Amino acid sequence: MLLCFSAVQAAGGLIDVFGGFQVAQMFDPQAQVNGAQFARLFQMTALVLLFTSGGYQLIIAGLTRSFTAVPVDGPFAVAASARLLVDGLSQMLLAAIQIAGPLILVLFLADVALGLVTRGAPALNAFALGMPVKVLLTLVLAGAVYLALPHIVESLGSDALRMMRGAGR
């Protein structure tokens, strides 16, 4: 489940970096999150969605299944756990890019458009307007991503359950 939260938080971090919000980064000691506004907002929303959807039961079930995955009295299979860890990390990075990817593309295209405007009309300082335009685009499009976040967390939670079931094998 930590990978699920990390994917949502990493997507918020990507939105912060490309939207220009990374400058206002701070540490939240209660949630142990170091990030800017969207990273913290997405992490808090994922936590709320975890408790409202009953996902906390996955954490409790994972704790009980940890004794079968890592036996106390027998040898520990490192190869299976390493494969599961690599699969989980790759899925986390892929999910973060899939969540924030469309917004990153739009912000990149906005930078290209501002560059073309500056190239076409050098007297018009388009990059002075660049930051407010990027902030506006980020707020509007991050709102769309935020509306899709419950479905995303549900999908990531089902993937986490599937991976957890395969951890004891």
C-alpha 30/C-alpha 49 separation (Å) is: 18
Query: What residues have CB less than 8 Å from 18, skipping those under 6 apart?
Result: 100, 103, 104, 107, 108, 138
Count CA within 13 A, CB hemisphere, residue 56: 6
In the prediction, which pLDDT does 92 show? 83
Phi, then psi, of 124 in degrees rounded to 5: -85, 110
The answer to whether 160 touches 4, Cβ cutoff 8 Å, is: yes
What pLDDT was estimated at residue 42? 83
Mean pLDDT in order along the chain per 10 residues (169 residues): 80 84 70 74 83 78 74 70 79 85 89 84 75 85 84 79 64
Tell me, what amino acid is at 141? L
Give domain limits for the chain: 2-165
Nearest to 134 by CA among 30, 39, 23: 23
Report yes or no on whether pTM surpasses 0.85: no
